């Protein structure tokens, strides 16, 4: 049976959603309003895209698309009615909204808590969630603060951003039943899932999802959850069969340096352990900078104080022993604070302009 647990309230029937309780916080009111619209049979919803298929924008998605996505995910994991769900994502965005849809479609109780880096701190003892969706930042913080709660989960779905190799190894070491998702707002959440294992993630498309590539090697998706429209992405992939693929990175991040194509997303995982040795608390990214000779040159950008340039020079020497001459960043820039989206993703181009 579907139940929405927010604050002190347990709500389930359409009558429960006629009037919002007076004591709801803003994030609770967001969840209440969406469930009210859903239970009143609203057929279309407005969502903010994240930019996977181009410039972020507002789009309309249908009830049928969201139901289809929830049913496909439920079938993949074999979710039974009554399974307790935890929503620790912002329900203003697709990831949080889809947790609510899953609860209503699967007929499950769902606890909605304020999004934070340590969600289990806000889960009452009487509630025992079995299915949770998180972003990598939440997983990393929870491993440090409450690994036992993660180990109790039947299904931990991770998405929203690529995970580091370090975090991937931590998840494997703890034996978490974790899965990496691949999707976008236009397909109302994920269309493919990869179980956590050593090495590269191998994604498998959900039932009813058709996949293909454009001339760049970027994946396109067609499914009921995309309203049966072909959605072209900027994500480069390598197909391992009709329904299975490896993600290589964003086409718009690809750096063409003297005719050599470099994929920053893959190289970032390759150098992560070295970068974090010298800058353990810093985020970083690789990007192409215009160059008269090469067209573009690969550079490393680190979120760190500018007075650490000597340490950056030492790091560069360390990287030279790990990377080929083509992969080695030609420069390292230190930027005090990156620009980020409301969901915490680094805005690479805007951040790079701060150098």
Could you say which of 251, 276, 299 is where a domain stops?
Answer: 251
172 and 130 assigned to the same domain: yes
194 and 307 assigned to the same domain: no
Q: Where does the pLDDT of residue 163 fall: very low under 50, low under 70, confident under 90, or very high at 90 and above?
A: confident
247 and 269 assigned to the same domain: no
141 and 221 assigned to the same domain: yes
∠ CA 170-110-184, rounded to 5°: 60
The whole-chain average pLDDT of the chain stands at 92
> What pLDDT is stored for residue 112 in this prediction?
97
Percent of the residues in the chain that have a pLDDT greater than 90, as a whole number: 75
> Hey, how many other C-beta atoms are within 10 angstroms of the C-beta on 248?
18
For residue 117, give Cα distances in angstroms to 88, 236, 339: 9, 30, 19
The CATH number given to whatever domain includes residue 14 is 3.40.50.12780
How many domains are contained in the chain? Answer: 2
The mean pLDDT value for 236-241 works out to 94
321 and 179 assigned to the same domain: no
Is the pTM higher than 0.75? yes
With 80 as the cut, is the pLDDT of residue 54 above it?
Answer: no
222 and 130 assigned to the same domain: yes
152 and 246 assigned to the same domain: yes
The mean pLDDT value for 7-11 works out to 92
pLDDT digits (tens, 9 = 90+) for 81-134: 999 999 999 998 889 999 999 999 999 999 999 999 899 998 998 899 999 999
CA distance 314 to 327: 17
Tell me the residue range of the domain where 301 lies.
254-352
> What pLDDT is stored for residue 47 in this prediction?
80
80 and 207 assigned to the same domain: yes
> What pLDDT is stored for residue 84 in this prediction?
97
CA distance 264 to 273: 15
CA distance 146 to 132: 14
Could you say which of 251, 273, 305 is where a domain stops?
Answer: 251
The CATH number given to whatever domain includes residue 314 is 3.30.300.30
Could you say which of 225, 251, 277 is where a domain stops?
Answer: 251
> What pLDDT is stored for residue 50 in this prediction?
59
Q: Where does the pLDDT of residue 272 fall: very low under 50, low under 70, confident under 90, or very high at 90 and above?
A: very high
With 70 as the cut, is the pLDDT of residue 301 above it?
Answer: yes
267 and 209 assigned to the same domain: no
Q: Residue 191, Cα to own-chain centre: how many angstroms?
A: 13
86 and 201 assigned to the same domain: yes
41 and 115 assigned to the same domain: yes
Q: Where does the pLDDT of residue 311 fall: very low under 50, low under 70, confident under 90, or very high at 90 and above?
A: very high
208 and 274 assigned to the same domain: no
């Amino acid at each position: 049976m579907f139940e929405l647990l927010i604050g002190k309230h347990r709500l389930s029937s359409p009558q429960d959603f006629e009037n919002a309780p007076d004591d709801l916080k803003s994030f609770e009111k967001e969840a209440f309003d969406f469930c009210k619209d859903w239970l009143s049979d609203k057929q279309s919803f407005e969502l903010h895209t994240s930019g996977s298929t181009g410039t972020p924008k507002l789009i309309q998605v249908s009830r049928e698309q969201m139901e289809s996505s929830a049913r496909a995910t439920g079938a993949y994991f074999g979710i039974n009615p009554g399974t307790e769900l935890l929503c620790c994502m912002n329900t203003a965005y697709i990831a949080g909204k889809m947790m609510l849809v899953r609860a209503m479609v699967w007929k499950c109780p769902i606890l909605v808590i304020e999004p934070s880096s340590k969600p289990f701190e806000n889960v009452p003892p009487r509630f025992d969630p079995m299915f949770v969706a998180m972003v990598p930042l939440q997983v990393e913080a929870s491993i440090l603060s409450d690994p036992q709660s993660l180990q109790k989960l039947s299904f931990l779905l991770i998405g929203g951003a690529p995970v580091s190799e370090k975090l991937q190894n931590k998840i494997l070491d703890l034996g978490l039943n974790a899965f990496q998702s691949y999707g976008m707002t236009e397909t109302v959440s994920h269309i493919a899932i990869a179980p956590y294992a050593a090495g590269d993630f191998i994604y498998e498309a959900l039932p009813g999802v058709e996949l293909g590539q454009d001339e760049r090697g970027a994946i396109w998706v067609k499914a009921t959850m995309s309203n049966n429209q072909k959605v072209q992405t900027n994500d480069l992939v390598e197909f391992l069969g009709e329904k299975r693929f490896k993600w290589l990175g964003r086409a718009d991040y690809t750096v063409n340096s003297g005719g050599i194509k470099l994929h920053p997303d893959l190289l970032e995982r390759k150098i992560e352990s070295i970068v974090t040795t010298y800058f353990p608390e810093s985020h970083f990214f690789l990007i192409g900078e215009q160059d008269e000779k090469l067209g573009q040159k690969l550079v490393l950008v680190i979120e760190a104080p500018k007075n650490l340039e000597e340490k950056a020079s030492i790091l560069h020497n360390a990287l030279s022993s790990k990377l080929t001459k083509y992969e080695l960043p030609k420069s390292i820039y230190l930027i005090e604070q990156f620009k980020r989206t409301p969901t915490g993703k680094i805005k690479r181009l805007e951040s790079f302009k701060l150098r």
